[in-house]
Amino acid sequence: MAVDRKQVADRVYTIVAELANSTPAEVKGADRLREDLGLDSMQSMELLSRVSEEFEVDPDMEKVMKVNTVDEVVSLLAGHLSA
């Protein structure tokens, strides 16, 4: 599946916004998932599950656990999709 970084970012922002009861326009790349957006561990797992399923990827859990910001989620996915 050929997906560019912008497509990945658009979907990640949309999913994060849904989980944070926000809008994609309010989500910023530098937003921290827990501290700024208020996602709890269940919502973080939901984010991982949704993006993994949608983009048909199985990211390394060790890398996933180090992700803190929206941009880091996008970078992890974009890197995985381009590998």
Q: What is the CATH number of the domain that holds 50?
A: 1.10.1200.10
Cα separation, 58 vs 9, in Å, equals: 17
Quote the pTM value: 0.89
Per the structure, the count of domains in the chain is: 1
Q: Please give the residue range of the domain that contains residue 16.
A: 5-82
Q: Which portions of the chain are predicted below pLDDT 50?
A: none
* pLDDT the model gives residue 68: 94
Predicted confidence at residue 2, as pLDDT, reads 65
